[in-house]
Amino acid sequence: MKILSIVVCIGVWLFIARACNLAIKRLGAIKQVSPVRIKYISKTTNIALLVGAVLTTCLLMGLGYGEVSLFLSSAFAVIGIAFFAQWSILSNITASVVIFFGFPYRVGDQIKVTDADFDLSGTLEEIGLFHVLIRSPEGNMITYPNSLILQKPVIKLDHGNAVFPQKLGAPPLAAPPLKND
C-alpha cells in the first residue's frame, strides 16, 4: 500500500510540475519574456514542487511529524546560516521571480535606472536570475542586481523619445512674492 501511495504521489508531482511549466511558458509567451528567463522560473518552481513532493512522500512512508520536523529544522538551520552569510543571493532570486511576473520592461528596451551617483542608462540586454545587464551608449556592460532595480525608479524611453529626462516629477512651484513693508 505504501508503494502505491508513493507512485501516486510521484504521478501527482509530475502532473502538477507539467501544468506549472505549461502555465509559466504561456505567461512568458504572452509577456514576450526570453526563453532563458522562462527556464529560470521553471527550474525554481520545479525545485519547490520537488521539496513538497519529498515531504509528502516522507509522511506517506510513515515518518512521523516529529521526525520530519526534526530533519527540516536541522536542514533549515544549516541553510539559514548559509543564506545569512549570502542573504543577497536569496533576495536577488526572489526579486527575479517578481521581475518575471511584474516588470514592465523587456529585453531590447532603452531604460534608465535613476541613481544620483551613476548614469545607469542603456539598452536592457538580459534579465538573469541574479541581475540585469544594461549596455550603455558607450558600449559598456552594466550589471545591476535584481533586488536594487526593484527599489529604484526605472525610466523607459517610449514613443520616439531619444533623450532621458534629467529630473523626475513636476517642476517646483514658484515662491510667493515678498511683501515690501
52 shares a domain with 122: no
Closest by CA position to 68, among listed 82, 54, 80 = 54
Is residue 66 situated within a structural domain? Answer: yes
Angle, CA of 15, 32 and 107, to the nearest 5°: 125
pLDDT given for residue 87 in this prediction: 67
Is residue 96 situated within a structural domain? Answer: no
120 shares a domain with 64: no
How far is it, in rounded angstroms, from Cα 92 to Cα 86? 10
Residue after which a domain boundary falls, among 85, 112, 140: 85
79 shares a domain with 29: yes
58 shares a domain with 12: yes
114 shares a domain with 67: no
By DSSP bridging, strand 154-156 and strand 110-113 are antiparallel
110 shares a domain with 76: no
Residues in CB range of 90: below 8 A, 6 or more apart: 83
pLDDT tens across 150-173, in order?
Answer: 888 888 877 666 666 565 555 555
Q: What CATH number is attached to the domain comprising 43?
A: 1.10.287
108 shares a domain with 81: no
The tally of domains found in the chain comes to: 2
pLDDT given for residue 171 in this prediction: 52
pLDDT at 102 over 80: no
> Span 172-176, mean pLDDT?
56
Is residue 114 situated within a structural domain? Answer: yes
Total H helices, total E strands in the chain = 5, 5
Q: What CATH number is attached to the domain comprising 109?
A: 2.30.30.60
72 shares a domain with 114: no
8-state DSSP, 29 = H
**Over the chain, what is the mean pLDDT?**
80
Is residue 180 situated within a structural domain? Answer: no
Q: Is the entire prediction scored with pTM above 0.85?
A: no
Is residue 90 situated within a structural domain? Answer: no
pLDDT at 15 over 90: yes
pLDDT given for residue 72 in this prediction: 73
Is residue 60 situated within a structural domain? Answer: yes
Domain, as residue range, for 127: 104-156
pLDDT at 18 over 90: yes
Angle, CA of 29, 30 and 32, to the nearest 5°: 60
150 shares a domain with 81: no
Is residue 41 situated within a structural domain? Answer: yes
